[in-house]
Amino acid sequence: ASIAGLAPMLGPAIAVIWGWVPALLWVVLGTLLIGAVHDFSALVISARHHGRSIGTIVKDIIHPRARLLFLLITFFLVSLALGVFVLVIAGLFAAPDPENIPASAHPEAILPTYSLMLIAMVIGFLIYRKKAPLFLLIGVGFILMLGTTWAGLHLPITGIDAATWTWTLLVYAFLASILPVWLLLQPRDFLNSLLLYSALIAMLVGFFILSPEWAAPAFNANPKGAPPLIPFLFIVIACGAISGFHGLVASGTTAKQMNRETDAPLIGYGAMLGESLLALVAVLATTAGAFASHEEWADFYGSWDKAAGLNQKLGVFIQGTGQFVHQLGVPIDLAYTFVSVVVVAFAMTSVDTGTRLLRFNVQEIGYTLGVKILDNRYISTLIAVAAIGFFAFFEVDGKPAGLFLWTLFGTTNQILAGLTLLAVTIYLYRRRRPILYTMLPMFVVLGATISAMVMGIHTAIDKAQWPVAIIGSVILVLALWLVLEAVLAVRSIRIANRQRKVHAQVIHP
């Protein structure tokens, strides 16, 4: 539930501008060969280091300097991701004029979203403080959650603009990240996982009942104004095939909750397969479910500038999957509300989980630099929320950054994934284990993302978008520096291995 945020729904909704075949292939093959391997590896390596985060493990695997570099890249990644999530959620909630609600807004999702928080907190309190039966409470909670979805359809909350919702979400992120995990995060994640499974089953069954025709072309190699298919396909689908954010969730948090290492394939590899299924549904919804004809699709995806509206693209996902759910006999308005609640519920889960991870990240940076005040959870959380707010309110040419931030987030996300695979590869190399199955994905991911970052920086400079260029350049320098540290670490390992061989020959000629 913590990894299935907006990205596997929103990324494919943008990427299908290049056609449904490239998006489908990357989601399927990228997950099987790269993404699931990454998540599984990050989980195992953390479990073997007493549940430590990947950012602290690289100190032992590569070099002490690598720890700070990895932590700084993580800071940018999580801040960017959550800034985009808050921006998009605020856009979904915002309906300042009750008489003229935008098609991309879904104020009917507000009541169910906040009701779910209350339901989760009550369940958490009853389970952990009153020892109430788990399955009974979860069953009642799930029924109440579905009931509030119906109520939200009839009681939409309107009259509040996007800026106000953004501030509200930032306050929520602060409070949720300092609450005990058992009170909100664990029970809500459990309910959200049930919601995800129910939604996926309903969407897939509905898709096969509807059996829609493809409205999108199989290939659309040169959309107007779009960047090149390669490497940008790999970073636009930010979490549907591979995600550095998953490594952060797997290490340090999930690893501590795992009973035994043999559970890692199901948890690490299996969870990524589940998320890729959601991304696959997003591809189907935005290429076959939401549009009745190729002309409708071509009008909506006519150029890259039209793809810049993140809320509009998420609206297409909701429209397409809502049509799938409608095939099961659910009234169409209720189907749209149900899907919008699913979207927001997972985005909100990522916001509070991510803010907590960012707080830990700030504390680890403070520990590394010897800044003791950052160990205070309120101060570190305040810094984390301020960073999220910076990107949530970030503008380019006087408009919300939208697609600029998404591309920058996707690039940073995949760079972090490549660096995690790099750390795992060196870990295996030190132990003389096979490294091909992590090394090859590492080269693919780092090659694609670093080239995309360079191209993105060049474009930002050409358009005089200096904040974007500066942030991208800082992330790129940190990543290249970390790669250099890894190369030096490999060189040291090889020298040490040769010295051991010489020493062994001297003792046993």
| Tens of pLDDT, residues 183-232 | 988 898 889 889 988 999 999 999 999 999 999 999 998 888 889 999 99
Tokens representing 302? 């006519």
Specify the pLDDT at position 464. 85
Does residue 233 carry a pLDDT above 70? Answer: yes
Beta bridge partners of 400: 395
Lowest pLDDT segment from 41-45, 51-55, 125-129? 51-55
pTM: 0.92
Tokens linked to 323: 């049509």
User: Which SS3 state, helix, strand or coil, does residue 155 take?
Assistant: coil
What pLDDT sits at residue 308?
61
In the predicted structure, residue 506 carries a pLDDT above the cut 70: no
Structure confidence at residue 505 (pLDDT) = 64
**Domains identified in the chain and CATH numbers:** 7-507 (1.20.1740)
Question: In 131-184, which residue ranges form alpha helices assigned H by DSSP?
Answer: 134-154, 162-178
> Residue ranges of the alpha helices (H) in 211-293?
229-236, 244-249, 255-257, 264, 270-284
- Rounded CA gap, 305 and 429, in Å? 45
In angstroms, the CA 376 to CA 23 distance is 43
pLDDT of residue 493: 87
Whether 29 has a pLDDT exceeding 90, the answer reads yes
Beta partners for residue 72, in sequence order: none
pLDDT at 251 over 90: no
Average pLDDT score over residue span 160-177: 95
DSSP code string of 446-502:
HHHHHHHHHHHHHHHHHTT-HHHHHHHHHHHHHHHHHHHHHHHHHHHHHHHHHHHHH
**Burial of 59 per CB tally in 10 Å (0-12, 13-18, 19+):** middle
Kindly tell me if the per-residue pLDDT of 448 is higher than 90: yes
Q: Residue 405, Cα to own-chain centre: how many angstroms?
A: 13
Predicted confidence (pLDDT) per residue in 382-428, tens digit:
999 999 999 999 887 767 777 778 888 889 999 999 999 999 999 99
For residue 507, the surrounding DSSP H or E stretch is helix 466-507
